[in-house]
Amino acid sequence: MKNFLILLVLGTLSFGSPSPAQQVEPNYEESGVPDYSLPDPLRFEAGGQVNHVEDWLERRKELVTLFEKHVYGKSPDWDGELHAETLFENPNFLAGKASRKGVRLHLKRNGREVFFDLLLFYPNTGQPVPAFLGLNFYGNHTLASDAQVPVTEAWIRNNEAMGSSGNRASEAGRGKRIPNWPYEAIISRGYGLVSLYYGEVDPDFDDGFRNGVHALYPEERRNEASWGSIAGWAWGLSRVMDFLESESWIQPEKVAVLGHSRLGKAALWAGAVDTRFALVISNNSGCGGAALSRRKYGETVARINRSFPHWFAANFNQYNENEAALPIDQHQLLALMAPRPVYVASGVEDRWADPRGEFLSCVAASPVYALFGLQGMPVTAQPPVDEPEMGHIGYHVRSGGHGLLPYDWEQYLDFADMHF
Ligand code: GTR
C-alpha cells in the first residue's frame, strides 16, 4: 500500500512538471492565453489613422498585400479562358419545385487545362434568386441520393497520393452529406445552392504545385509568398463566380460564399480578395480563418503549418511560436469584408478552432464597420450557446462540435434574409 502511495505521488509529481512532449499539448485554458495586443485595422503601417472610407480603401489594399505575403500567398490574376459544359439538367427536381444541374467548368491557359464540376440547385420561381456557394469535402455525389451525379475522379487524375490525405471521394459517400447541405430547406427559403468538390480545384496534399489550379501557372514556382492550397481553393471560387455572372437563374450581386473548417478559411480569403461575394460565412474556420492567432488557443500557427505545409504561403512558418511578430491578425481578415456582411460560427465543443478567439475577432473587426456607419458585432461579451447575434457581423456558438449543421444553416438563411 505504502509503495502504491509513493508511486501515486510520483505520478502526480511527474504531471506537475511536464515533459517536453507534454508541454506541446494544445492549450485549452483561458489562463494559458498569453498577453497580446492586436494590430489596429484602422492604422496605416507607416502610422496615421484611417478616418474616412477613402482612407480605408487604401488601408484595405495594404492589408490584402500583408495577408498575401505572410499568410495565404498571392494568387495569379486569371488570364485564361473559361468554358462551361452542361453535364445534366433536371428541371423537375423536388417534384417540380426546383431545378438541379451539373456543369463542368473548363479552365484553359497556355495549352493547359483543368476542370471542376459544379452542382447547382435553384427554386423554379421564374425569377433570379440569391444563392449560397460553397466547396464540399467529399464530392458532389455526397449531396445527391440518386445516380445522376457522378463520383468525381479527380483523385485519379491528379495523383493517388491524394487518396491518403485528401478526403478521397467514393460511391459509399453518395447522399451522405445532404444533412450538411440541406438544399430542400435552402430552396424553400427562396435561395439557390452551388457546390463543388474542393479536391477538384486543388488536391489537398503537398504536391509541389503540380496539380489542380496550380498546374495552370507552371511559371509560378513555389516560393516564400506564392499561393498555397487555401488561396487555390479561394481562386477557384472566384472562377465559379465568373461563370455564375452569366447564369440567368441567379442574382450574381447576391451570392453568399460559405465554407466549413479549412474551407471556411478559403471562403474568408475568397471574400477578402473578391468583393463580388456579397456576404461571407465562416463555419468553424479556426486557426488561419476567423480565430485570432495571437491567442494560441487550440490549434496554433506552428501546429497548422506542420500538419498542412501546403495550405499557406511558406512565409507563414516564420510565425510558428512567434505570433506576436505577425504584422496582421485574423480580425483584420474579417474587416476586409466591410461593408459587406460576414458571419462567423463556432461549435462550443470545437475548442481546437477557439470559439472565443473567433468571437473576439468579430469584435475587433467592428470598428471598420463603424467607419461605414454600420454596426459590426452588436455585443462585446460572447453570446450564450445557441443565441446568435446579428449586426453586419453575425456570430453564434452552437451546442456540439465541429460540423456544418442544419442549425448553422438556419442562422445563415436568417442572416441572408436580413441583408439581401
Ligand atoms: C483540422 C485542421 C483545422 C481544420 C480541420 C478541417 O485537421 O487542424 O485547421 O481545418 O482540419 O478542415 O476539418
Three-class DSSP labels, the chain: CHHHHHHHHHHHHHHHCCCHHHHCCCCCCHHHCCCCCCCCCCECCCCCECCCHHHHHHHHHHHHHHHHHHHHCECCCCCCEEEEEEEEEEEEECCCCEEEEEEEEEEEECCEEEEEEEEEEEECCCCCEEEEEEEECCCHHHHCCCCCCCCCCHHHHHCCCHHHHCCCCCHHHCCCCHHHCCHHHHHHCCCEEEEEEHHHHCCCCCCCCCCHHHHHCCCCCCCCCECCHHHHHHHHHHHHHHHHCCCCCEEEEEEEEEEECHHHHHHHHHHHHCCCCCEEEEECCCCCCCCCHHHCCCCCHHHHHHHCCCCCCHHHHHHCCCHHHCCCCHHHHHHCCCCCCEEEEEECCCHHHCHHHHHHHHHHHHHHHHHCCCCCCCCCCCCCCCCCEECCEEEEEECCCCCCCHHHHHHHHHHHHHHC
**Domain 1-14+27-420 in CATH: superfamily?**
Alpha/Beta hydrolase fold, catalytic domain (3.40.50.1820)
The reply to whether 310 belongs to the active site is no
* pLDDT the model gives residue 16: 31
Using a cut of 0.85, tell me whether the model's pTM lies above it: yes
Query: How far, in Å, is the centroid of ligand 1 from the Cα of 262?
Result: 5
Query: How far, in Å, is the centroid of ligand 1 from the Cα of 66?
Result: 23
Question: Does any ligand 1 atom lie closer than 6 A to the CB of residue 287?
Answer: yes
Query: How far, in Å, is the centroid of ligand 1 from the Cα of 173?
Result: 20
Question: Does any ligand 1 atom lie closer than 6 A to the CB of residue 261?
Answer: yes
* pLDDT the model gives residue 53: 98
Question: Does any ligand 1 atom lie closer than 6 A to the CB of residue 230?
Answer: no
Query: How far, in Å, is the centroid of ligand 1 from the Cα of 389?
Result: 25
Question: Does any ligand 1 atom lie closer than 6 A to the CB of residue 350?
Answer: no
Question: Does any ligand 1 atom lie closer than 6 A to the CB of residue 166?
Answer: no
* pLDDT the model gives residue 223: 85
CA-nearest residue, atom 10 of ligand 1: 262
CA-nearest residue, atom 13 of ligand 1: 261
* pLDDT the model gives residue 167: 63
The reply to whether 261 belongs to the active site is yes
Question: Does any ligand 1 atom lie closer than 6 A to the CB of residue 98?
Answer: no
* pLDDT the model gives residue 158: 65
* pLDDT the model gives residue 206: 84
| Residues of the chain where predicted confidence (pLDDT) is lower than 50 | 1-23, 163
